[in-house]
Structure formats: C-alpha cells, structure tokens
C-alpha cells in the first residue's frame, strides 16, 4: 500500500549485455539491439535480475535491451526514447559507449532521462561526463580502513529522503553501507568507482578527475580499492589495498543541456537528464576484461541502498521532457506589483520538477526579503495569497479515456499555525477561465483531509481599472497600478500570467455531481499533518488526476507521507459533471495551466518573517488511450481456430461476438468476459461455425 501511494509506475528500459543479442540489420546497415522480456525464459535468472525484480516490486514495468556491442543503429533510437527512463546496468561492456570511435548517439539522441550504474561508462573516453579516467573497484563494504559509506554532499536532495545519516567531521554520512559485498560469484570485484582523490600511506596523490561543468556531485564514498591489475581466481574473495584510500563519485547528476566531452571534442550537449548511481558488481578480471561477462552486474544494494535507488528512479523519471512543463515557474502576488518590490514570494531551486517558495505572513511591503527585518513604519498589513503556476500548450480532455494527472512531494519548512486552509493544487482551462483543485486541509485538527472545489474566475481584478496603491485591510484589491496586465473583470476572460483568483474561491459542485463522502473527517496520514512542529522532516506525497469518462470526469486525489504506510484517497463516486453552466463553473476540456496556493494570511508561527515550502519530484502525465482496434488475426493450426490480438488498456474488459450477416451480433456461446492483458490482449478461439463473422467488443 505504501509503494502504491508514493511510487509512480514508470516504463523502464534496462540496458544489459545479459540476454539475447540482436540479429536484424537496421536501415543504416548496423545490427540492431535486442528488446526482450524482463526475466529469462529458460529458467536461469540473469545475474543482474535482482535490480529488475526490485523495480518490478516497486510497481514499475521493465523491458530489457541488449545493445549492439559496438555502435547503435538509428532504428533503435526512437524505440529507446519511447520509455520513461533508461537504466544502464553494470553488466554492460563499455564498447557501445566508446564515443570517440562510434558516435554520440547515447548522449545526443537519447532524449529520455538516464541512470548509469557502471562508472566506467561516464569516464573521459566513453560518455565523457568526467575530464579523466581514474577508476578502482571498491569491493563494496569489504573495506578495512575506509568507511565505504556515502558522504551526502547535497543532503537535502530528494534521493536521500528517508536515509539515516550521522554528522561526521561536519559532513553527513550514511549510517549504513549503500553497496554491500555479495556472495556470488565469490571473486566479483564489487562496484567500480571513478575517484577524484587518492591517499597512499596517507600521502595525497594530487588526482585531477573533476566532473564536466554543470554536473552536481550528490554523494561521494571513501573506500579501499582492489589491485586493478589482479585477476581474482574463482572461489576466492578479493583482497583490498589497506594502504590506499580513494574518494570516488557515488551519485552525480547532470541536467539536460550540460556540455560534456570537452576534453575530447568541442563538446556535446546531452539531450536529457543523466544520473550516475554507482552499483552492481564487476567481473573477476582486473588486467583482462571479459566482454561481455555474464557474471557481472549482480545486485549489491543494502536495504538503504535499495531505498536510495528507488528514490533515484523516481527523481530521474520526473525529469522526463515529455512532462510538458518548463523549468521556470510563474508567480502571482498582487502585493509584489502594488508596492514595486520583489513581493512576498521568492522562488528558488526552480526546475520543471519543483521549486521552493517563500510566503510572508504580513507587513510585506516593508519587509526586507534578504534580512527578514521590518521597515521603519512597522505597519502590519495582510499578506497576499500568492499562486505559483505554469501555463502550457492545452491538453485535450474532451474524449473518453484521456487523462491528466500530477503527483508531487511537498515539504513544509517552517512550523505553521493552525488552519484548515493549508495547501491547494489544481488544473485550469484558460479558454473559459475555469479551474478545478484539490484541497489538502489538515493540520493540528479540524477540516477534511482531502476536498475539491471548482471555480470560473482564475483571472479576477474585481472589474476595476488598477491604479496606484491603497489596500483594504481585509486583503481585497482596492485601486492599484495596472499590474502590467490589461484590466479585465471575471466575466471578460482569462489574462495570461494574471492568477489573482487562481484556486482562491469557488463552489463545490455543478448540479448533478455527487460530492465525495468519507474523505477523512479531520484525520491525516500516519498522524502527521502539514507543517506540524516537530515533524517538518516528513515528506508528503500528493496526487490529483482527472480522466474523461462517460458523463463527466473521474476525479481522484491522494495524500500519503514518509512517516508510514497510511494514506488518504478521495474521489467522486459518480463522474464530476463539468459543464459550461451554471455560471461559476466551466468545462474542463482543455487543461492548459496548473498551480499551487497557500490559503491562510498568517500561515507560519515565526512572526512577520513567514516561511517556505518546497515542491519536488513534480511530474505531469497526460494519457491518450490507443485506438481500440484489432491489430492481428491469425489461423492457429493446433486449435483449428483463430487468434485475435487487439490494442487494450489495463482494467478494461471485452467480449467476443459473432454474426452471420454483420447486422445482428451476439456473444459467442460458452465464452466469458475477456480481461485486459495490458497494452495488448490476445484470445484464441476454435471455429464454431463456418461463414461466420467475429468481432471484439469493449465492455
């Protein structure tokens, strides 16, 4: 239940030399790689199966890909890019990534996020994310004089959520090992690590092996390496150099657009997010490399290491460029414009997957946003209710089966006062100025856990021409400057960038919609509310989805947190009826914006200085179902009958029907409902009658 609430299922391509090789020539004359199932079909598991099983157990779907041992065929590129996330396993030979000789397709043509587990692949003369090649095998936690544990250089990064750490010499170090020694094969060399510092008998060797500019080191590891020139006999465990202590790259990220390989060529711009997560066992060879070696790539992650890895998968997948969003979030705060200052909301750490926002409580116009000191007048004024938003090309939500959904992690960074109006998140239709949003109204008591509202006044200036600055102490707009936007009232349509009323008010339901019941009654997941003092380290995971079904929208919201497995789900029992009438609501058939709002004027307990909240791992998904069609009909000799294959969706059901005249149809006798097998469903059926027509009908 916990995984279901907090992990978004991804379509993952696991790249490995384990498994079958391709034989088909591509259009460019290059032998193509082989796509094949996640598990071996001959009863003998692949050595790296532990990683794949971990991903599947977390709810992801996994396909394997064995690349050409030299260069990638151009025919493979679009198929690789059809997955949400690419993971390069440690069982890979580095040959296909020798970019100097074989081209830069993995860097420049793979446009989906990628996790690299084998450090060899990022070195200077391979993918080129480092300026040199300094590599040792770490023998995992067999180290004797070095810790072998990760030092968290960016401890607030979401990859480290839920990981125990201790402060050592001013740095945060994991309490437990991330990678561990595995028993089989006994002579594996542990994970390979590119290092940037080396001490021999305490003497610094002045190693220079930095990451390409733009890369960010998230975690390093001190370890005792193996002798790189030794082949370890079968059945013998490796011995480490106790006199050598290396510091290497354990987890590093490079954002999309980073220029790499600058020491080899003029530089290449990587097409999407890349992450190094050093893990997976090396083969037993030191001076001689077996390529490929089926004894490489075994899963060597501890319990904490597995959590790190799944966190990394979640974070990397959230960087998927198909998510539509830009890396810059907009803001709307009328006080910012009224008083000519920078306002009471500051965004930092902005990417398409999140931001940190500062919200003041009051006295905004005279508050120094750097020192948090009050100005001379000391006048207390009501703060604005700032909206953080994104606009994007409209996503059609008018056809049955289309679905838009968002999921994100939320962390409140300062204690809040009690309120039942904490956080709102919603979608909007800029064509008709309407929006629909989820309320997460839970704190130190009171309110429903999850609720919904709809509105049709995202852009609202109360119909006034905005001229210079006076203020109603109740927080309403009076007359002020024009805010750099045309003057329009609530009935005059949406004004791009003006979110003066976004998810700020509205009614609950259009007539005919049934409001969800049993949505919490004041309880919150695992006893932890938003912003409760003493639990500010808790990460809250929230989602909202809207799917077009017959009669309206199927709407579901969820809330869970990192404190435990309990979570809340709310949704309309019957479709929400989105209609252009009555006034105050609007049809949500074109989703073109989304945003956040904190709804209380005095949110935080630390006085005038206010506080911040952080949104991370944000992802926007848009689903358009495949057309319902039969894709293959074949005669099957063994049953003297037909095999039907058709496009399908998980959770759907179908019937097999027959007719003698194409006009009158009925269900084939002695058949039952056919449950979907996923994206494609196949049914075999013996002939019942000659001269008969058959069809598949969706229930």
For residues 307 and 314, what is the distance between their CA atoms, to the nearest angstrom? Answer: 11
Q: Among the listed ranges 54-68, 379-393, 420-434, 683-697, which one has the minimum average pLDDT value? A: 379-393
Write out pLDDT tens, residues 493-504. 677 777 777 776
d(Cα 262, Cα 130) in Å, to the nearest integer?
9
DSSP 384: P
Looking at mean pLDDT, say which of 248-262, 429-443, 555-569 comes out highest. 248-262
Q: What is the side-by-side strand order in the sheet with 680-686?
A: 630-636, 641-647, 680-686
Hey, what are 195's tokens? Answer: 């290092």
Q: State how far the alpha carbon of 268 is from the alpha carbons of 105, 159, 405, 474, in Å.
A: 10, 27, 34, 55
Q: How much is the average pLDDT of 568-583?
A: 74
Per-residue model confidence (pLDDT) at position 181: 84
Least confidently predicted of 39-53, 105-119, 592-606, 640-654: 592-606
Nearest to 325 by CA among 256, 386, 376, 277: 256
Q: What confidence tens digit (pLDDT) does each residue in 395-413 have?
A: 889 888 888 999 899 998 8
Among 77-86, 175-184, 650-659, name the one with the lowest average pLDDT.
Answer: 650-659
Share of the chain above pLDDT 90, in %: 28
Contacts of 203 (CB under 8 A, 6+ apart): none
Residue that the structure tokens 């009051």 belong to: 362
Residue % of the chain over a pLDDT of 70: 77
For residue 475, what pLDDT is reported?
Answer: 39
Q: How far apart are CA 194 and CA 246, in angstroms?
A: 9
Q: Which of 1, 54, 10 is nearest to 617 (CA)?
A: 10
CA distance 325 to 147: 41
- In this prediction, residue 363 has a pLDDT band, given cuts at 50, 70 and 90, of very low
Which token pair is 186?
């006994």
Q: Do 558 and 567 meet the contact criterion of CB atoms below 8 Å apart?
A: yes
CA distance 1 to 618: 21
Type and span of the H or E element at 618 = strand 611-623
Tell me, what's the pLDDT at 343? 45
Question: Is the Cβ–Cβ distance between 328 and 389 less than 8 Å?
Answer: no
Cβ contact 459:450 at 8 Å: no
- Banded pLDDT at 283 (limits 50, 70, 90): confident
Which residues share a beta bridge with 269?
259
The 10s digit of each residue's pLDDT in 36-86 is: 988 888 878 898 999 999 999 998 889 999 999 888 998 898 889 888 899
Other Cβ atoms less than 10 A from the Cβ of 168: the count is 11
Tokens representing 458 are 């995202």
- Higher pLDDT: 89 or 372? It is 89
Domains of the chain: 2-322 (3.40.50.880), 391-623 (2.60.120), 630-698 (2.60.40)
- Of 64, 112, 68, the closest CA to residue 86 belongs to 112
Those residues with Cβ within 8 angstroms of residue 649's Cβ, 6 or more apart along the chain or in another chain: 401, 625, 626, 676, 679
Residues paired with residue 469 on neighbouring β-strands, in sequence order: none
Q: In degrees, to the nearest 5, what angle opens at C-alpha 490 toward C-alphas 579 and 580?
A: 10
Confidence band, pLDDT 50/70/90 cuts, at residue 482: very low
Q: Which of 88-102, 358-372, 412-426, 452-466 has the highest mean pLDDT?
A: 88-102
**Closest residue by Cα to residue 311 from 222, 251, 352:** 251
The secondary element (H helix, E strand) that includes residue 656 is strand 653-659
pLDDT at position 427 over 50: yes
Across the chain, mean pLDDT equals 79
Going along 122-210, which residue ranges are E strands?
A: 135-137, 150-152, 165-168, 171-174, 192-200, 203-204
Helix (H, G, I), strand (E, B) or coil at 303: helix
As a whole number of angstroms, the distance between CA 21 and CA 225 comes to: 33
529 vs 328, 450, 522, 669, CA distance in Å? 29, 12, 10, 55
Q: What is the pLDDT of residue 401?
A: 81
Q: Quick one: tokens of 274?
A: 């890349």
Predicted confidence (pLDDT) at residue 479 exceeds the cutoff of 50 = no
Packing angle of the helix pair 49-57, 303-317 (nearest 10 deg): 70
Q: Is the confidence at residue 200, as pLDDT, over 80?
A: yes
CA 442/CA 422 separation, integer angstroms: 7
Dist CA 610 CA 612 (whole Å): 7
Least confident of 15-19, 223-227, 330-334, 462-466: 462-466
Distance CA 251, CA 174 (A): 13
Please, are residues 530 and 611 in contact by the beta-carbon 8 Å criterion?
no
């Amino acid at each position: 239940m916990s995984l279901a609430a907090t992990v978004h299922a991804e379509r993952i391509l696991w790249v490995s030399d384990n498994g079958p090789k391709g034989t088909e020539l591509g259009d460019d004359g290059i032998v193509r790689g082989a796509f094949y199932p996640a598990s071996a079909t001959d009863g003998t598991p692949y050595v790296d199966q532990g990683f794949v099983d971990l991903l599947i157990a977390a709810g992801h779907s996994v396909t394997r890909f064995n690349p050409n041992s030299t260069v990638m065929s151009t025919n493979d590129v679009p198929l690789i890019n059809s997955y949400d996330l690419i993971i390069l396993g440690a069982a890979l030979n580095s040959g296909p990534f020798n970019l100097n000789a074989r081209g830069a397709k993995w860097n420049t043509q793979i446009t989906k996020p990628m996790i690299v587990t084998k450090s060899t692949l990022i070195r200077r003369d391979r993918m080129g994310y480092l300026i040199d090649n300094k590599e040792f095998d770490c023998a995992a936690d067999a180290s004797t004089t070095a810790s072998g544990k990760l030092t968290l250089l960016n401890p607030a990064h979401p990859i480290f959520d839920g990981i125990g750490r201790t402060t050592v010499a001013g740095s945060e170090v994991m309490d437990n090992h991330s990678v561990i020694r595995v028993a089989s094969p006994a002579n594996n060399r542990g994970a390979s690590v590119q290092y940037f510092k080396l001490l021999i008998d305490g003497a610094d060797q002045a190693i220079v092996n930095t990451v390409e500019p733009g890369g960010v080191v998230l975690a390093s590891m001190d370890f005792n390496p193996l002798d790189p020139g030794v082949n370890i006999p079968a059945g013998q465990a490796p011995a480490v150099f106790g006199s050598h202590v290396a510091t290497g790259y354990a987890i590093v990220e490079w954002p999309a657009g980073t220029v790499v390989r600058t020491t080899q060529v003029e530089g290449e711009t990587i097409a999407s997010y890349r992450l190094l997560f050093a893990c997976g066992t090396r083969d037993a060879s030191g001076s001689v490399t077996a390529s490929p070696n089926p004894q490489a790539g075994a899963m060597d992650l501890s319990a904490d290491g597995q959590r790190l890895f799944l966190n990394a998968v979640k974070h990397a997948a959230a960087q998927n460029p198909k998510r539509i969003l830009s890396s810059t979030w907009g803001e709307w705060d009328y006080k910012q414009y009224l008083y000519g200052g920078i306002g009471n909301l500051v965004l930092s750490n902005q990417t398409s997957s999140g931001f940190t926002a500062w919200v003041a409580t009051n006295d905004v116009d005279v508050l120094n946003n750097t020192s948090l000191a009050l100005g001379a007048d000391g006048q207390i004024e009501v703060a604005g209710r700032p909206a953080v938003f994104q606009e994007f090309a409209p996503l059609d939500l008018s056809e049955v089966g289309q679905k838009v959904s968002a999921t994100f992690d939320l962390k409140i960074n300062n204690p809040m006062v009690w309120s039942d109006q904490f956080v709102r998140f919603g979608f909007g239709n800029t064509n008709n100025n309407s929006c629909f949003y989820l309320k997460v109204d839970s704190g130190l008591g009171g309110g429903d856990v999850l609720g919904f509202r709809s509105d049709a006044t995202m852009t609202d200036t109360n119909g006034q021409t905005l001229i210079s600055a006076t203020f109603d102490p109740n927080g309403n707009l009076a007359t002020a400057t024009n805010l750099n936007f045309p003057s329009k009232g609530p009935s005059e349509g949406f004004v791009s960038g003006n979110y003066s009323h976004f998810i700020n008010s509205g009614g609950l339901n259009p007539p005919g919609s049934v409001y969800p019941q049993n949505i919490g009654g004041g309880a919150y997941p695992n006893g932890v509310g938003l912003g409760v003092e003493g639990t500010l380290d808790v990460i809250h995971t929230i989602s909202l989805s809207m799917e077009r079904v017959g009669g309206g929208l199927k709407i579901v919201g969820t809330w869970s947190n990192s404190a435990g497995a309990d979570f809340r789900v709310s949704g309309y029992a019957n479709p929400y009826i989105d209609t252009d009438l009555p006034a105050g609501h609007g049809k949500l058939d074109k989703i073109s914006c989304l945003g956040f709002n904190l709804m209380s004027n005095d949110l935080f307990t630390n006085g005038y200085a206010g506080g911040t909240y952080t949104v991370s791992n944000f992802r926007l998904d848009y689903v358009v179902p495949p057309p319902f069609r039969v894709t293959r009909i074949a005669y099957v000799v063994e049953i003297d009958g037909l095999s039907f294959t058709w496009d399908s969706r998980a959770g759907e059901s179908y019937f097999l029907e027959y007719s003698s005249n194409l006009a009158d149809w009925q269900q084939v006798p002695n058949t039952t409902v056919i449950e979907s097998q996923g994206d494609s469903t196949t049914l075999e059926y013996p002939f019942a009658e000659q001269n008969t027509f058959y069809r598949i009908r969706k229930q």
